[in-house]
Amino acid sequence: MSQQTDSNRLAQVMSAVRRQFPALVVLSCLVNLLLLVTSIYMLQVYDRVLSSGSMDTLLWLTVIAVFAVAVYSVLEQSRRMILSRAAGWLDSELNAPMLRRAMEVRLAGKGGRAGTRDVADLRKFYASDAILAILDAPWSIIFIAFIWVLHPILGVVATAGALILLSLALANDALTRNRQKQVAAATKTHQDAAMRYVDAGETINPLGMARAVFDRWRDGQGQVVAEQQLLADRTAKILSMSRGLRLVLQIAILAAGARLVLQGEITAGAMIAASIVMGRALAPIERATGAWHSYVAARSARSNLTELCRRGAAQRGRGFSAASGRRTCLRKCFLRPSWYRASHSQRGQLRDRTRGKLCGRRTIGCR
């Protein structure tokens, strides 16, 4: 019954979190549309205000742009608050059931590494920027389409840059996915071992095993830290390449736009707008590359919690029965005061004289 309840609870909580996604998708659509405000404002200023010299046009364009940016701030805060509240609610709803389930599995002798740390990994994922990067990623296509509308050559530059950044993100996933899972599992194993060593300190230390145990744990932890550093270095290298490439692409699109301006095919405002929009289009891909570690950890945590809930029910009848508040006395023995004052040898003599009897008649009285 406990297994079924915890499994259903996990499914219900994750379903409730997923029900927030439609609202997040709508807010993300509005937020990303409002991100075009600065580009459109720049385009209008270059094409209309500077050419006409109208102060009224500049004033009203500025008012509209400021209002749109204010709405953008409110919507951005709203979707971040939704994710933050959902992450906190997920943590509060799953911590106790998963802790109870882990204890039941442990008492049943079935092992398992899932527990509250996996719930914490899920909470961190939903509260981080990773979800927003995933929600914003489809809008990269719309931003690139906007650049194609400005000019096909600019669209080709933006499309090529997006494909290269996407290739780097996929390469990062292929190079680090399996190793990240192994490192995460090894990290949890060593953390559990450290807690067991602390709990067993009263046994380990008197037996003289403390140094050997600590040296063994330190060697294993050193290997885990080395693997984590290797993964961090590899991810940092790919992320640095992505950021450098994005800057190069912005220079390239400005150069291509300047040439088109000189040829009279686009205006200067279109050139600036294309540069800004391309930065918006490539940002979600770059953010997704940086947040990939959080996504892998959350996926592994969800798998561990699901496996924890699928394990067999804990053995029934284990542990102590509930206390009834009654005491049962099977036999009462009364010792004379001289027994306590007697020495060790005298007590031995008394025992020898009463050997074969349940209690000595004179020294010990029993009922």
pLDDT in tens, 283-310: 887 787 767 777 777 777 787 777 777 7
Instruction: Give the tokens for residue 21.
Output: 């996604």
pLDDT > 80? residue 24: yes
Torsion over CA of 85, 86, 89 and 93, rounded to 10 degrees?
Answer: 180
The residue ranking higher by pLDDT, 171 or 151, is: 151
Per-residue pLDDT reduced to its tens digit, 242-283? 888 888 888 899 899 899 988 888 888 888 888 888 888 888
DSSP string, 73-134: HHHHHHHHHHHHHHHHHHHHHHHHHHHHHHHHHHHTT-----SHHHHHHHHHHHHSSHHHHH
Residue 330: what pLDDT? 56
Mean pLDDT score of the chain, rounded to an integer? Answer: 76
The pLDDT confidence band at residue 183, using thresholds 50, 70 and 90, is confident
Contact 335, 363 (CB under 8 A): yes
339-354 b/e (C-beta count within 10 Å ≥ 16 → b): eeeeeeeeeeebeeee
CA distances from residue 90 to 77, 278, 354 in whole angstroms, order as listed: 20, 36, 69
| pLDDT single digits (tens) 48-105 | 887 777 888 889 889 999 999 999 999 999 999 998 888 888 888 887 777 777 777 7
| Model pTM score | 0.64
Rounded to 10 deg, the angle between the 292-310 and 116-127 helix axes is 140
pLDDT at 92: 83
207 alpha carbon, distance to own chain's centre? 39
Q: What is the pLDDT of residue 120?
A: 81
